[in-house]
Amino acid sequence: MTASLEVLGVDGIPEVEAGADLGELIAKAGTYQDGDILLVTSKIVSKAEGRLLHATDREAAIDAETVRVVARRGPIRIVENRNGFVMAAAGVDASNTAPGTVLLLPEDPDASARALRARLRQLTGRRLAVVVTDTFGRPWRDGLTDVAIGAAGLPVLEDHRGRTDSHGNALEMTVTATADELAAAADLVKGKATGIPVAVVRGLGHLVTAEDGEGVRPLIRPSVNDMFRLGTSEALRQAVTLRRTVRSFTAEPVDPAAVRRAVAAAVTAPAPHHTTPWRFVLLESAETRTRLLDAMLGAWQRDLRELDGWDEAKIARRTARGNVLRDAPYLVVPCLVMDGSHDYPDARRAAAEREMFTVAMGAAVQNLLVALTGEGYGSAWVSSTMFCRETVREVLELPEGWDPMGAVAVGRPAEGARARGERGAEGFVVVR
């Protein structure tokens, strides 16, 4: 293990123009040893590769380089660019470039690092590694630091899992981002306004490999493992968009704690008169679910037969719609309570008062469904309990004032959601 290392700035590199032999410029500006790691600012790589764009509209250039908006606050955008990097403004930079121009990141920073490494080996005869760097902000912390966006000739990660520390404890999570640590160390001598775009890290020759290696791809966290893939507003919009009515579930049990977290989100809904008009009955027992659904089925069959005059075949087709509730591993029965409502003597205002509370109930149910989506569960709201409230209250032993407002089936979706076309606001908006 190396106990010390040097970080040396490479001075004397002239202004780089499109088509310049960057390897030759770097080779002439310094003296290099086997095992040196060269950290090269992406700006000079981009300039040599002609990535300078004459653009009066920087935002349009950012749009062109963006594949996904991660978060937006005012004019600031954190985006994923075409190389998979999550960063501010897709790396489009208007600093250290002439007015009226912007600088894009290299098209393929790993390819740039490999080409530069090969050219330097040809010119110097040295065994070198090359890391292309750029400046990133970081989640959870203020301040900027340089990170690796392209690499050749060294592993960008060092996996310590399976090793033991000095006290004999097994390391289970530690994977060091070696290339990013090198980039940050090199930036201490390069700086942001010193005109030194290249630095050499000396003393870590054991990291330099004969092969170019995988580049920086191992540093990019797969989306499936990214717990912070979206900004707050984007995550909320996506949760709303991804919410689907799920009608088939796996047999996997539902985590009761996840449902309670969803209920906690539900009861943040707006409500009239500072009331809390929601109650959520959680049917965690299979026996209770079956008893309720059997009683509801009997009540439905009786009403359809006696009140509507339906035949048995038609009744069977209609009541089969309730199978989504019977097949779900968990049910929630939201109930509306009118505690705190105003008692109006005339029917018109009394009806409006009831509608106010019903709207609040709907907002709470929507919160519940969206929160369940965020927990990874599918759901389906079914209205059936509203048609046999007395039966539901009797089976579940609920107070007279609790009005069941449908039921929510909850579980892991048994199949992926079908594609749904974009639905804009235009068809649902009237402007006055």
C-alpha closest to that of 132 among 15, 39, 218, 7: 39
Instruction: Quote the CA–CA distance of 177 and 181 in Å, as a whole number.
Output: 6
What mean pLDDT is predicted for residues 46-71?
89
d(CA 63, CA 92): 10
pLDDT for res 418: 73
pLDDT average, residue stretch 223-237: 75
Q: How much is the pTM?
A: 0.67
What percent of the chain shows pLDDT beyond 70? 97
Least-confidence region, from 90-104, 338-352, 370-384? 90-104
Half-sphere exposure of 414 (CA within 13 A, CB side): 10
User: Does the pLDDT of residue 167 top 90, yes or no?
Assistant: no
Question: What number is the average pLDDT over the span 288-309?
Answer: 92
pLDDT at residue 169 greater than cutoff 90: no
Domain boundaries, the chain: 6-51+105-225, 232-428
- Per-residue pLDDT of 177-202, as tens digits, reads 999 999 999 999 997 767 899 999 99
Of 94, 90, 104, 91, the closest CA to residue 50 belongs to: 104
- The three-class DSSP label of residue 30 is coil
Neighbour count for residue 367 (Cβ, 10 Å): 19
**Residue 402 predicted with pLDDT over 60:** yes
Q: Is the pLDDT of residue 322 over 70?
A: yes
79 contacts 122 by C-beta, under 8 angstroms: no
* Vertex 219 angle, CA 215 and 220, to 5°: 110
> Of all helices (H) and strands (E), which one includes residue 73?
strand 66-73
Q: List the beta bridge partners of residue 411.
A: 378
Buried b (16+ CB within 10 A) or exposed e, 53-68: bebeeeeebbeebbee
* H-helix or E-strand spanning residue 281: strand 278-283
Only one residue has tokens 């009608």, namely 247
Banded model confidence at residue 144, pLDDT cuts 50, 70, 90: very high
* Lowest pLDDT segment from 122-131, 167-176, 354-363, 367-376: 167-176
Write down the CATH number for the domain with range 6-51+105-225: 3.30.1330.100
Q: CA–CA separation, 370 vs 376, rounded Å? A: 10
Q: For strand 37-41 and strand 129-138, is the pairing parallel, antiparallel, or unpaired? A: parallel
Name the more confident of 160 and 265: 265
What mean pLDDT value characterizes the chain? 91
Summarize the confidence of residues 277-296 as an average pLDDT. 96
Residue 173 is predicted with a pLDDT of 63
**What band does 294 get if pLDDT is binned at 50, 70 and 90?**
very high
Computed from CA positions of residues 318, 322, 323, 326, in that sequence, does the dihedral angle turn out positive or negative? negative
In degrees rounded to 5, what are phi and psi of residue 7? -125, 115
For the purposes of burial, counting CB atoms within 10 Å of the CB of 162, is it exposed (0-12), middle (13-18) or buried (19 or more)?
Answer: exposed
228 pLDDT exceeds 90?
Answer: no
| DSSP codes joined into one string, 191-207 | TTTSS--EEEEES-GGG
pLDDT digits (tens, 9 = 90+) for 14-53: 999 999 999 999 999 999 999 999 999 999 999 999 999 8
Look-up of token digits 């979206």: 230
Distance CA 382, CA 405 (A): 9
Fold of 232-428: NADH Oxidase (3.40.109)
252 phi, psi to nearest 5 deg: -60, 130
Burial bucket for residue 259 (CB in 10 Å: 0-12, 13-18, 19+): buried
Single-letter amino acid code for the residue at 169: N
pLDDT value of position 243 = 79
* pLDDT confidence bin for 175, thresholds 50/70/90: confident
User: What letter represents residue 197's amino acid?
Assistant: P
Q: Rounding to the nearest 10 degrees, give the CA dihedral for residues 335, 336, 339, 344.
A: -150
